[in-house]
Structures are given as C-alpha cells and as structure tokens.
Amino acid sequence: MKMGSKRMISMYLGVALLAVGSAFAASVDTIRATVPFDFMIGKQAFTAGEYSIRQGGAVPGTGADVLVLRPADDRSSYVFLANSAARVTKPQPQTKLIFHRYGNRYFLREIWVQGELSGNRLPPTAAEREAGMSSMTSRNGAPDEVIVLATR
C-alpha cells in the first residue's frame, strides 16, 4: 500500500474515532442522589451523603458496564462494574437507586434512569450474602428494598 493511502486511511480512522468518542461523551448521563444512610458497593463502604454516578462505558462481550461513583464533597472516584438489566415493557418513570437493606446495612443493587428501558444491576457480594444470613427474619433473610430517588 502506498504511503499516501495509509496516511489517508489513518486520517479517516482518527476522525471516525473522534466522532464516536464525542457521541459517546454526549450520551453519557450523570445522575445525582442524596443517600441518607451509609452503604456498600462490593467491599467498599460509603458514608451517607450526595453522590454522582456516571457510565464510563460498556465492557465488550460481557454485558457489563463500567460505572463511576463520586462523592459530591470529594475529588476521589470509585469505579465498579454492574450488569446490564433490561425492562422492556416501558421506560422508567423516574431515576432511582435501589438498595437492599438487611438490618442497618445497605447495599446498592440497581440503578435506573428515567426514560430508559434498561438499567444496571449489581451482583450480590459476599458481604451482602453474609448480611442476609445473619438477619434471618421471618422473611427468610430476604432484604427490604429501599429506593432513593435521583436526578439526571
């Protein structure tokens, strides 16, 4: 292949990648929520407060999304994976975070965005399974679902 053709192809690929990156950045939603209790994501504990969550992209071939959680009063970020979850019947009526509660322990489990047909679901962790076993209630350790409304 001639040098001019390679240069032209490289230029077109570069422009295409910039366009895809810009389109992706424009489509990324950031949601904000005030969580009134301490909670866990995976093994990481978070204190009650204001948080933003944004999608960092999909992990090819896995059905998982990279999500980024950032406390409002902190410059640090926590990156985690969540599985895609589809509800195909109708778009979500509100943006919300769903937590599972066992006693006084809360675990983030689902994230839904208003107007979307799909959301994200976090798999149960060892800490959540342990909390479920230790809070064997009349409901056989089934968690309470706690919904925290969020905004886009």
Bridge partners, 2 (sequence order): none
For 75, which DSSP code?
A: S
Per-residue pLDDT tens digits for 4-55: 444 443 343 333 333 333 333 334 579 999 999 999 999 999 999 999 999 9
CA terminus-to-terminus distance, the chain = 49
| Calpha distance 38→40 (Å, rounded) | 7
**100 within 8 A of 145, measured Cβ to Cβ:** yes
| Calpha distance 83→88 (Å, rounded) | 16
pTM above 0.85, yes or no: no
Q: Which of 51, 142, 66, 48 is nearest to 100 (CA)?
A: 142
Per-residue pLDDT tens digits for 96-134: 999 999 999 999 999 999 999 989 999 999 989 888 887
